Structure 1
Amino acid sequence: MAPFSLLSVGAHVLLKSAGLFSSASVVRCSCVVPVIKTFSTSARDPPKRPLTAYMKYVQDMQPTFTRQNPGTKNVDIVRKIAQQWRGLTPDQKQPFQEVSLASRELYKLALQEYKAQLTPAQSAAIAEERKQKLAKRKAIRKKKELNTLGKPKRPRSAFNIFMAEHFEEARGATMQGKMKSLTVDWKSLNITQKQIYTQLAEDDKVRYKNEMKSWEEHMTEIGRDDLVRRKERRSLKATSTIDRKKSNVTVLKAKATKKKTSVKKTDSGAAAKKSVKSTKK
């Protein structure tokens, strides 16, 4: 394959040269890996992360696969490339891994230069933005996990039920316009008309309460107490403690009954022996 020879030569030049990060080396690297040209020290344009060996392979092979498979969806093209990547030998993957390693070293230098020219206010703003992105990503992952575990959907309000029922025929060309018209229509309803949706909302609350109770009991059984609400967790622990106490009481009663039966048998046996002895006399 053509990309192997091109990348292997470039990687060899990059890694063999002692002055890898000299200006001449950067020029040679930009000829082999054009994406490095996008590095910038502007406060508004931080350096882009370098591609991994696999992503570099995908980038190089995608045009060829697209030409060979016209009309194929992009996701299927990537799937074919991924399958071919898994079939490559370590020697065939090595050129891409070397280029990825060289790109990472260049990225580190560019990142250091970028951070050095930031003001304290810019650094603080970037740190806060990163914190918010991580929190958002974490929330999305948790939501996906809860959906996978089958967490019940929260109950809908009376207005939400009304909106879902009348959204299609609502006035307005955009979603915002439809929401506005539905809000106006909801406010114009009388108490009797709203009562229907209020009752449906109450029923949905009961549904949610029952489903959540069952779901949280199941989460406790599989060892996911962290997903159980704090109040319910205490309730479940209290119930479990009561059940254990009842079980212990039942066991103690059974043992006491067994002991009494055993004593009675012993006493009756002793009485029988005495009776036999007196008869013999």
Structure 2
Amino acid sequence: MVRRPLLTSLFLALLGAFGSLPFLRFSPGLPRHPRDRGVTAGEAARKGKVASAPSDPPKRPLTSYLRFCKEERAKVMKRLGKSAEVKDITRELGALWRQLSAKAKKPYEDEAKEEFEEYRKQKAAFLDAGGTMPQRRMPQRRQTKPKKDPNKPKRPGSAYNLWVADNYKQVQEKRPDFKATQVIAQLGSDWKKVTPATKKKYEQLKEKKLKEYQKALEKYQASE
């Protein structure tokens, strides 16, 4: 029998001893070292949270003024006609909103407040579930406009606005059960039935007030 060198025998003995240790054994299909398994579990948990997060954030509700505009826009567009520009419609809606009393504005404000409270709850639940709210675009800063001088003459309204100013209280007294928006709607309907002579009267009144405004404006600008 061929004798192995002493060093070779010693090496094989040590190799057999180390090979019997459990952490050096290779077993296909068994999990990795516990340290690797912990990291994998954490990553899976994070991925699962993101995957289960809702995709559609709650929508911010409309303000009281925008609710009023949404309700009255079609009526204003119909009243002003197809030739009316967006700025004309917006200006008319703004004028109508300013004419509303605090009592008439309250239903719009209450509805907006109620929906905003519900929006806050939905937003909190959405964020807790792992959702991300989209960043609102901040409008570019504009140069601060100087405050309007209360002494500056105000441009007169249209013939229709002058007519509404003269007839608003009359309709309100006839129909005390009407809301302000209903009064405006009634006036819009009545304006269509106004005789050409009456409309001409208010057109002339508008022109007269416009000339007075131009003179007052020139005088105001000269005094600056």
- Bigger fraction of residues in helix: 1
**TM-score range relative to shorter protein:** 0.3 to 0.5
TM-score normalised to structure 2 length: 0.37
TM-score normalised to structure 1 length: 0.30
